[in-house]
Each structure stands twice: as C-alpha cells, then as structure tokens.
Amino acid sequence: MAATFFFHPALLFFAALPVVPLLKGIWRQALVLLVPLLAFTLVLGFSPGTHGVVDVQGLHLVFGRVDKLAIIFANVFTLMSIIGAVYGLHVKEPWQQVAAMGYVGSALGCVFAGDFLTLFLFWEGLMVFSTALVFLRKTERSTRAGYRYFLVHVTGGLMLLCGIFLHYHQTGSIAFVRFHQETAGLAEYLILAGFLLNAAVPPLHAWLPDAYGSATVVGSVFMCAYTTKTAVYALVRSFPGFDILIVLGVIMALYGVVYAVLENDARRLLSYHIISQVGYMVTGVGIGTALALNGACAHAYAHILYKSLLFMGVGGVIQVTGHSRFSELGGLWKYMPYTLVFTLIGGLSISAFPLFSGFVSKSMVISGAWADHLNWAALGLTLASAGTFLHTGLKVPYFIWFWRDKPSFEPPKKEAPLNMLIAMAIAAYYCVLIGVNPEGLYKLLPFDAHYHPYTAQHVMESMQILLFTMLGFFLLIKKLYPEPKVGLDLDWFYRRGAVIFMAFCRNVLRMVDEQVIKNLHKTFALPLLRAFARVANWNDQRVVDGVVDNSAQAVLSFGDHMRVFMQPGILSRYIARTLTVLAGIALLALYLR
C-alpha cells in the first residue's frame, strides 16, 4: 500500500547546510540536534511507496523509492546522525557540522534513490562531504590523505558512471534494480566495481584506514558509519547471489583481522576491522538467500552502532590526550573510566559476545553460509570472528587503559566532554538492547526469514571461541606489545607510484622539454612560423588589401562619373534629360502595342 505522506529526510539536512554557519552557541547546537531528530521521526512513519518521480528527457528519476530495505538503512542512518550530532556538540567550528550534515543527507539520498542517475548524484555527494571531514583536520597528514581519498573515490565514481551509461545503452533503462549473475556483462561489473571500491574490498581498500585514521575526531565517527554501509545497501539492492562476492567477503573478513595485528594506531586498527566486518555483509550478499541477506542488513545496522561507539571511545582518548598510538598510551583507566566502559561494550559487541548486538547479527551470515553448504566460507568467517575479539575486544582496551601503570605523558585528570559521553551512552544502550532483545531489529529486516540466535549450541560455540581467544591473547601478550612502526598496505603502490611519477615528470619530462622539445621548437617550429607569417602578410597586403582597395577605388570613381552625369547642376540639362527619357518610354510603349 502506498504511503500517504513522504518528505525526503535528506532535504532537512541539505536545507540546514547554509544556516548552520550563521548560528552560534546554543542556537547552532539546537539546529544540529533538531534536524536528525526530525529526520528519524519521519523515517519511523514511512511505509512502502514510490515518490518524487521526475521525468527528464524521457528518463524517470525516482528520488523517493520507499521499501523495507530502504527503511532499515534509513532508520539506522538517521539514528546514527542523532548520536553523531550529540558527539560533536562541543565542536566550535561549524564546518565539521556542515560537512557531516551533507554527508548524512547524501547517504539518505542514495538509500531512497530509485534509479542509477539519482544514486550517482548522491554517491558523489558522499565523496565530497566525507573528503571535507578529512581535510578539516588541517594537518599535513590529513591533507595528503584527503587528496588520496578524493582521487581514489573519483576513480570509483567514474567506474560507476561508465557502467551506468553502458547499462542504459544496452537496456534503455536506468532503474536501480537487481541484476542477475547469468546475464551480467561489462556494464554490470563496472557498476559492481564502483560499489566494491566504496565497500573497501581488497585490493580497493587502502583508502579506508588512510582516511579514517587521518580525519577529524568527529569526522571519523561519521565516516565509519556511512560510506561502506551505503555501498552494502547498494550491493544488497543490485547484486545478491553473485558468487564472486562470497570469495571477496571472506577475504575481507580475514584480511582486516590480519592487518589489525600490525597496527599501532588505534583508529587505523578500527578501520581495518571495518574492512573485516563489512566482509561479513559482502559475503551475505554473495550467498543471496533470504537469511544471508537479512544477516547482511542486520549486521550493517549493528555495525554502525558498535563501530561508531568504538571510534567515539578512541576519539575521546584523542580529545583528552592528543594521542592515538598504543605505544604512547596505557594506564588511562584511572583517568577515563566511563570511556573505558563504553569502549568495552563496543568491543564485546563487535566480537559477537552473547547479549551484545554483534552476536545476533553476525551469526545470521555464518548460519546462512552453513545452510547453503558453503562450509569453507562459514569457517573463514568464524576464524575472523575470533581475530576480531583478539584485537578489538582485547587489544584496544588493554593497551589503551591497562598495559602499564601510566602512559608516557601525564594526561589531564578528566574525562571526555559530557556530550561525548552521552553519545557513547546512547550507542552503548542500543548495542545492549539489540543483543538482549533482537526481535526489535529482526522486525525491520526486509526479507522473509526466521532466525533464533539464542540456542544452547550457538551460545556454547561462541563462548568457547571467545574464551580460547582470550586465553591465547594473554599467553602471547608479549608478542603483541605495540611498537612505533608504520604498516605497509597496498596503498604503498600508488603512494610510491605517485612519487615515481612526479620524479619522472621533474627529471625525465623536464629534460625532454628543455633539451629536445625546445631545440625542435627553435630549429623547426619557429622558422616555419616565421615563413607562414611572411606568406600571410604578403597575402594580406597584396591580395586581400589589393582586391578590397581596388574594388573600393573603382566604386568611388564610378560614383564620381555618375554624379557628374546625373547631377550637373544645370536646369536646361535636367529638362532635356527628362524629356529624352519620357520620349524613350513613349516610343517603347508604341512599339510594344
């Protein structure tokens, strides 16, 4: 049944963009909170229907396609916008809040898009506003990371746009609908590549830890929630059942866990775990069954909340101490106990600990793999889950808060700002609520599949894996001590490639320009240009000017003679010529009769 009312929630965010910088103090804070609250309220009242259809040159642009899949992502996106707004209330600079609002609005535009051109419009908005959140850190590292992030996502956007054009050329349609693996061609796989880049699928993933680890404290909280999950939404919408996604998803899940071992920076470690957790969602999309797709959606919902909670906890540490490297931290439990508790809840949630949100969502994807007889995928995801608990559930809280009596500096004896703690508390509440009462989340899921997470077998299996992982962590803890090193990833290739390319431009191309091109220009080009100029000058003076000037002179001379003949100034001659003309006319008339 069609909805009786629809107001696009993205319009609220975009309408607030020019207003936020004009307000100050409590008025700006009120607007920043009011907009996401109104958007969340709107989404709660939506029911399936199609709205905002615009015809442009025969193309049907749909800005408001509302169904259960769109509603669940819009629900968590607007909920996260409330949490993020509370978390950033202390920020004095308005531009972070402007960029965050544009970012959320663009994500909502993607969710409700019913055609690929509308999707692409908001897809590029995601790139622009998220890049701003990186640049607004205003450090040399963030500036470089922002440029890399922008260039990588422009490449992904171009792949997506090329795929859309090819698809329209082949089918005459730009509808944002499901593709089928059996009939997919170059156009569909180009679109898939554009989605996979935003989902941070290896080898198209290195932008994520690079940018998220360099963004502003508030910006990284928003970024961990929207870009990759918007890509997951697009994959669920268009590419369920594509077998390649199963392989890529399992690789993601394991790859992120392995690279987290190497990380000394807390935000980069969490970023690698985003790659790992999105791997579960990509795997669920690849499996394509109702249970697995529900698992992908449920895990996206839970992931946004617990990952933002983890980024908020680490952001609180950065806000208070100015440090994010494990080798510089430790012993903070005396100074930041509330942040410790909230971060532990996030760690237990991402580790799929019973009674926390990850337990009721991650297991749906693994169960979908077992049910589809993809035993290797289920085992790979289970192994990745153990690694997640090792690093995010244990390594992050231990090395920030416990591994030594005090850090290498004297931190101020205070917690994170109150608004940060409130935002963490809201996210922590939802992490526990979903884990304790998963039915509220399951009612939002778009596909018809029933799942019961709290079986005795599932709880016992999970607890065994988690407890043995904990045992291994404390047995091998000395091997995990943080060291001030920089991990190398696949971004090394384009970083070094850019350095080599610039060196090639400065040395080789400049030498060719100075020694070859300039000599060729001086030896051949300049003489030819001079010869051409001489010929053109001769043609202008002798031919063009000659014809024009002589023609003008002839006309003037003829006019002078006619003037003397026709206008002599003597009355007798005028009368004689008039009579002669009249006589001639009369004779001609008599002759013609």
Q: Of 178, 207, 239, which one is at a domain's C-terminal end?
A: 239
User: On the CB side of 274, how many CA atoms lie within 13 Å of its CA?
Assistant: 38
- What local confidence, expressed as pLDDT, does residue 565 receive? 60
* Residue 490, pLDDT score: 75
Distance between CA atoms of residues 43 and 471, nearest Å: 44
Tens of pLDDT, residues 467-492: 888 888 888 887 777 777 776 777 77
- 502 in a structural domain: yes
Q: Is 207 exposed, middle or buried (0-12, 13-18, 19+ CB in 10 A)?
A: buried
Per-residue confidence band for 3, with pLDDT thresholds at 50, 70 and 90: very low
β-partners of residue 64 are: 51
pLDDT at 2 over 50: no
CB 79 within 8 A of CB 309: no
Choosing from 432, 465, 485, the residue where a domain stops is 485
Does residue 270 sit in the same domain as residue 349? yes
**pLDDT, greater one: 217 or 409:** 217
Residues 293-311, mean pLDDT to the nearest whole number = 96
Question: Do 418 and 522 belong to one domain?
Answer: no
Q: Using CA atoms of 77, 152, 243, 179 in order, give the dihedral in degrees to the nearest 10.
A: 70
Distance of CA 525 to the CA centre of its chain: 48
Could you tell me if 287 and 355 lie in one domain?
yes
In degrees, rounded to 5, the angle at the alpha carbon of residue 379 between the alpha carbons of residues 375 and 380 is: 115
pLDDT at 573: 67
Average pLDDT, the chain: 88
**Residue span of the structural domain in which 332 resides:** 241-485
Q: Would you say residue 279 lies in a domain?
A: yes
Q: Shortest CA distance to 365 belongs to which of 296, 315, 300?
A: 296
Q: pLDDT digit string (tens) for 139-153?
A: 998 999 999 999 999
Domain boundary among 239, 259, 280: 239
Q: Are residues 75 and 6 in the same domain?
A: yes
Asked if the structure places residue 232 within a domain, the reply is: yes
Two tokens at 444? Answer: 């939002």
Say if residue 260 is in the same domain as residue 121: no
Looking at the structure, do residues 174 and 314 belong to the same domain, yes or no? no
Instruction: Give per-residue pLDDT as tens, 42-70.
Output: 999 999 999 989 988 888 899 999 999 99
Give the DSSP letter string of 204-219.
S-THHHHHHTTS-HHH
**Rounded Cα gap, residues 531 and 469, in angstroms:** 83
Residues 199 and 264 placed together within one structural domain of the fold: no
Q: What are phi and psi of 424, to 5 degrees?
A: -60, -40
DSSP state of 351: T
Same domain, 62 and 144: yes
Give the integer Cα–Cα distance in Å for 438 and 294. Answer: 13
How confident is residue 1, by pLDDT bands cut at 50, 70 and 90?
A: very low
509/394 same-domain check: no
More confident call, 250 vs 497: 250
Residues 26 and 124 in one domain: yes
The answer to whether position 490 is within a domain reads no
Contact 323, 266 (CB under 8 A): no
Give the pLDDT confidence of 189-221 residue by residue, as tens digits. 999 999 999 999 988 888 999 899 899 999 999
Per-residue model confidence as pLDDT tens digits over 504-525:
888 887 888 777 787 877 788 7
Say yes or no to pLDDT of 577 above 50: yes
Q: Is residue 590 part of a domain?
A: no
Percent of the chain surpassing pLDDT 70:
94
pLDDT of residue 410: 72
Residues 507 and 449 in one domain: no
Interval 78-130: pLDDT, tens:
999 999 999 999 998 899 999 999 999 999 999 999 999 999 999 999 999 99
**Across-strand partners of 55?**
60
Q: What confidence tier does 566 reach under pLDDT thresholds 50, 70, 90? A: low
Q: Is residue 592 part of a domain?
A: no
Of 431 and 468, the structure prediction assigns the larger pLDDT to: 431
Task: Give percent of the chain above pLDDT 90.
Answer: 59
- Say yes or no to pLDDT of 421 above 60: yes
More confident residue, 410 or 141: 141
Name which residue leads in pLDDT, 239 or 530.
239
pLDDT in the model for residue 120: 96
* Total domains in the fold of the chain: 3
pLDDT-based confidence at 562, cuts 50/70/90?
low
pLDDT, tens digit, 9 for 90 and up, residues 18-33: 999 999 989 999 999 9
Question: Pick the residue with more confidence: 465 or 70?
Answer: 70
Could you tell me if 136 and 111 lie in one domain?
A: yes
In this prediction the pTM is 0.84
pLDDT band at 568 (very low <50, low <70, confident <90, very high): low
Asked whether residue 52 is assigned to any structural domain, the reply reads: yes
Closest among 144, 84, 104 to 16, alpha carbons compared: 104
